[in-house]
Amino acid sequence: MSTNVIMPQMGESIAEGTITKWMKKVGERVDRDEPLFEISTDKVDAEIPSPAAGLLTQILVKENETVAVNTVVAVIDGEGSAVAVPAATEPKPETAHQGPIHAAPQAAAHIPPPAAPTASEQIETGEDDVRTSPLVRRIARENNVDLGQVKGTGLGGRVNKKDILDFIEQRGPGTPVAPSAPAPAIAPTPSPVSFTGASQAVPMTPMRKQIAEHMVASLRTSAHVYTVVEAEMTRVVAARDRFKEEFERRHGIKLTFTSFFVRACVEAIKESPIINSSVDGTNIIYRRDVNIGIAVALENGLIVPVIKRADEKNFLGVARAVQDLADRARTKRLSVDDVQGGTFTITNPGSFGGLFGLPIINQPQVAIMGVGAIEKRPVVRDDAIAIRHMVYLSVSYDHRVIDGATAEKFMGRVKKILENWDEAVL
């Protein structure tokens, strides 16, 4: 049985990817989940695992070739039958992606043993030759890691992406690593435009087209309704100001406001589980795991990596996940799994000064919360005017399944948690 290997979609706004390296050759055997090829997109570089075990019978996209997501890039013969290698050579470019791709006919032929690693698959580290990939070598350089110290769990001791990232995480603070990213936020910076007349027509990039299609489809799908609340952040600001230096010294990560908002949403979702649902026809699908997507601004767009099972994490666990995902998003080191499976999204236009926004729901989710700027404002407390740190929080929700009362209850709970913050930070 043949299995088509497709170009994955690394986030909802990514329309295409470039194959930078094939780790297997036509005729070689590949195991399920073994790294098969590397891709580079506008936002993410990643090793893509094989979807099945068997023989790689066809490579349909050359290295350094860019194709749309969901394009078939290779074929694996899952039955492990011998194939005629000449029949599986790379096709002409104009026929590479037309319609379903099927494996080449079976034929009796000798399959050569796997080739020795090429020069590009090895890196000198002292006395050892480490089998790895260009992506892993780049991560090692950026984080000042000697690959000779990293234990490879891949085939033949190969150091894969997971190995290097696990090593960096276990190494702990105090070692030079990639610069920390600021708090995740939305609102990408547009590219500058050079005018040649009164106006200038510029074609949308594939990424921008994908964003447009995704947003318009969401508006067609969900009955969008919005509500806004104002929350006092005095206790949260005080906790952050008091512990931020010790938090960074002890844990090696910055204490950002995003972690407070994630924890508040997680606790509120436990009391309003429909916020964590999705719609399938006439069925409401309730999700047990609370997977919080965090919108991260990039140079020319945005991506929404996901904190998986955020409901099982304490404050420190959430803070680690927030910074890790933001750092890897901006250095294009997210994996396919990092950008899939979200059940609720938080976006932060306030980091750019916005009072609040009314974001579009990230399908197939049914709600998204927007965080405004935290500012000092005059408010009435005990019949007197006082100065307090305040923030506007908005929620966009799908009125097909969420009623106004439910949305208000959810936001009221988020507001109460933030205003009466009592969770230990350190």
Q: Which of 166, 251, 403, 422 is labelled catalytic? A: 403
Name, in order, each residue with C-beta under 8 angstroms of 314's C-beta and a sequence gap of 6 or more. Answer: none
3-class secondary-structure state, position 8 = coil
- Give the pairing type, strands 306-307 and 35-40: unpaired
Nearest alpha carbon to residue 72 among 131, 13, 7:
7
Rounded to an integer, what distance in angstroms lies between the CA atom of residue 150 and that of residue 166?
A: 9
Positive or negative CA dihedral for 135, 139, 142, 147? negative
Catalytic annotation on 241? no
Catalytic one of 129, 146, 399, 422: 399
Q: What is the length of the chain?
A: 426
260 vs 384: CA distance, rounded Å: 28
Task: Compute, in degrees rounded to 10, the torsion defined by CA atoms 327, 330, 332, 337.
Answer: 60
The stretches of 282-393 forming alpha helices (DSSP H) are 315-330
Q: Buried b / exposed e across 358-386, counting CB within 10 Å, b at 16+?
A: ebbbbbbbbbbbbbbbbeeeeeeeeeeee
- Catalytic: 399? yes
Dihedral pair phi/psi, residue 379, rounded to 5°: -135, 165
Amino acid at 292: I
Non-local (6+) Cβ contacts of 279 within 8 A are: 285, 364, 366, 398, 400, 401
288-297 b/e with 16+ CB inside 10 Å = b? eebbbbbbbb
Q: Which residues are catalytic?
A: 399, 403
